[in-house]
């Protein structure tokens, strides 16, 4: 009886998959994302690594009589940026060809940032933040 399980091949595949994921995460971390609300009246720019770079508030968004509106716009812009960040992270994860590794793990082929977003490195932000319906920009 020949043993078709090759531990060296399995280890090589796992290391290759780890490197591809690390590379994809590094590329995503350098990407700038701008969340917008109120037709661009409030803009918040972050990196894929969750570093906040800039907040821009148009003077037209500032009404001393309605601070709640400005607060809502800031939250909407943040949510827009985080929605884009989750999308970017999920798209950056390479399609993982698990090969023999998939069988060895009992068919856990969903590793690497599926629709649940749980494996995307953001603790469940993947698609869970409310949609803002505002303009979006990933650069």
Domain residue limits at 54: 31-95
Q: How many domains does the chain divide into?
A: 1
Residue 53 lies in a domain: yes
Residue 68 lies in a domain: yes
Which H or E run includes 10? Answer: helix 7-30
Give 67's pLDDT tier (boundaries 50, 70, 90).
Answer: very high
Provide the CATH number for the domain around residue 35.
3.30.1310.10
Give 25's pLDDT tier (boundaries 50, 70, 90).
Answer: confident
Residue 77 lies in a domain: yes
And the tokens for 24? 């994809």
Among 37, 18, 52, smallest CA distance to 131 is for 37
- Rounded to two decimals, the pTM is 0.57
d(CA 137, CA 127) in angstroms, rounded, equals: 17
Helix count and strand count (H, E) for the chain = 3, 4
Residue 69 lies in a domain: yes
Residue 125 lies in a domain: no
Q: List pLDDT tens digits, range 86-112.
A: 888 787 765 555 555 555 555 444 444
Among 123, 97, 93, 124, smallest CA distance to 109 is for 97
């Amino acid at each position: 009886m020949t043993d078709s399980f090759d531990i060296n091949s399995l280890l090589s595949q796992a290391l290759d998959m780890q490197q591809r994921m690390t590379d994809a995460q590094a590329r995503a971390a350098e990407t700038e994302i701008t969340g917008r609300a109120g037709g661009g009246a409030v803009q918040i720019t972050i990196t894929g690594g969750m570093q906040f770079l800039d907040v821009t508030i148009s003077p037209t968004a500032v009404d001393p009589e309605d601070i709640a509106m400005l607060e809502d716009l800031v939250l909407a812009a943040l949510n827009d940026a985080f929605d884009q960040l989750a999308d970017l992270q999920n798209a950056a994860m390479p399609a993982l060809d698990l090969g023999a590794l998939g069988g060895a793990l009992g068919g856990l082929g969903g590793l690497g940032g599926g629709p649940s977003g749980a494996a995307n490195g953001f603790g469940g932000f993947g698609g869970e933040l409310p949609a803002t319906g505002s303009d979006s920009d990933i650069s």
